[in-house]
Structure 1
């Protein structure tokens, strides 16, 4: 049993190292396609716009689970970098729609290529697992998700 306790502590430490690595990566600006360096909040907004062309800022805020003010700040940065464009919504004159520019589309596609390269080995490994192995991992992540939601 002592060995299991040690292995459990090692597993928890490994998990915490993964979390720290993710946090470090979330602070880095990266270049995708022909884009200038983009912070994670910027490329994630580009991804949402690319997946929902012509979306309204309020809908973006809802999708991203952030305030409209936060969306406005990121959109201003993306507009300054010429990655998005805004047009008046013809069906509602008080609102506007957001679209990717060609440079924004390049960043969108570059980010998709980036994730395909990173995610493919993991996807293949998970696909090769038995149903019971996969279920253990799924249960583990569901437990972690519940823990984080309980301790907000």
Structure 2
């Protein structure tokens, strides 16, 4: 019979496998237009800006749990590629307000099509779980996230 510690370690191994697969998916290209692609990681930033109201670089960093420097690099790359516009925020000399360009909107729409089927399949799978099971998964992921935050802050 498995002990509680055995089950915890097996769960951690499963989370590592899922994280590795997620990292691979984040690098998959999404076709936006003829000859124009974004990585899934870039598309997620575009999605956050497209869904947000007056997103800043700091908001992007907070949304993805990354440093402001990493968020700034991603935003700069997406601005250079023509997906995002960055303008001085009216309330601050230090902040920039991010908006989608027309090409950014195309990328936003392409990302939605790209992940739409996967999202629906996942939702359908999770709808088979009880509310208690979903709550347990949420608490589990929160706990894993807290341990990861501690590691990243060292």
TM-score by length of 2: 0.69
1:19 aligns with 2:19: yes
Greater RCO (CA < 8 Å, at least 6 residues apart): 1
Other-structure match for 2:111: 111
Distance 1:37 1:109 in 2: 13
> Which consecutive unaligned segments of at least 5 residues does structure 1 have?
none
Q: State the 1:19 CA deviation.
A: 2.8
CA root-mean-square deviation:
3.3
Distance 1:106 1:46 in 2: 10
1:38 aligns with 2:1: no
Other-structure match for 1:69: 69
Secondary structure of 1:82 counterpart: coil
Other-structure match for 1:128: 128
1:87 aligns with 2:93: no
Q: Count residues in correspondence.
A: 147
Whichever of the two has the greater Rg, that structure is 1
> Which consecutive unaligned segments of at least 5 residues does structure 2 have?
none
**45-54 vs 59-68, greater mean Cα deviation:** 59-68
Decide whether the 8 Å contact of 2:40 with 2:111 is kept in 1: no
